[in-house]
Amino acid sequence: MTKKEKILHSYITNIIADENPKNIFIFTAQDISKLIKRIEKLNIESLSIGTSIEKVSNENFDLFLILDDMRTSESNIGTIKNLISHKIAIFTDFSNDDETNETMLRLGFQTELFDKNNKLKCFSYNLKTYNNKRTWNNPKGWANPENFDKFRW
């Protein structure tokens, strides 16, 4: 097992342990039997592995992982984000890095892992943490005359 695989497997195991998903889809064409052996002791009800997003577009998963051996379009990522799963991790190498960074930023993803030595980068999206509720962003804090002199931007 290469150092890159060890880092990838460790990172995925940590994501699964932290998020505690019941249903997981891994979008890859590579042999991930070592990863499966590592995560099988975690509390997962179903694990699906595939190479086609179109075949799972009517299912819901708690966690959707895209490994760096697969390429996917911006529209497919949008489909995953809007219809299939609210927690997504996309692993990429550093090919087309500027374009990938721009696309991920535009879609609301954050950089979670950056390992230039092993050419591994992970972008993640979690709907629960994407747009946290703010105390000031509610009807009580707006258009109240008692707050007119308190808040100025």
pTM for the predicted model, two decimal places: 0.81
How many angstroms separate the Cα of 30 from the Cα of each of 6, 14, 34, 70, 131? Answer: 15, 20, 11, 9, 34
Q: What is the mean pLDDT of residues 8-33?
A: 93
Structural domains of the chain sorted by starting position, each given as residue range(s) with its CATH number in brackets: 3-130 (3.40.50.150)
* 73-125: pLDDT as tens digits: 999 999 999 889 989 999 998 777 888 899 999 999 999 999 888 888 999 99
108 φ, ψ (degrees, to nearest 5): 90, 15
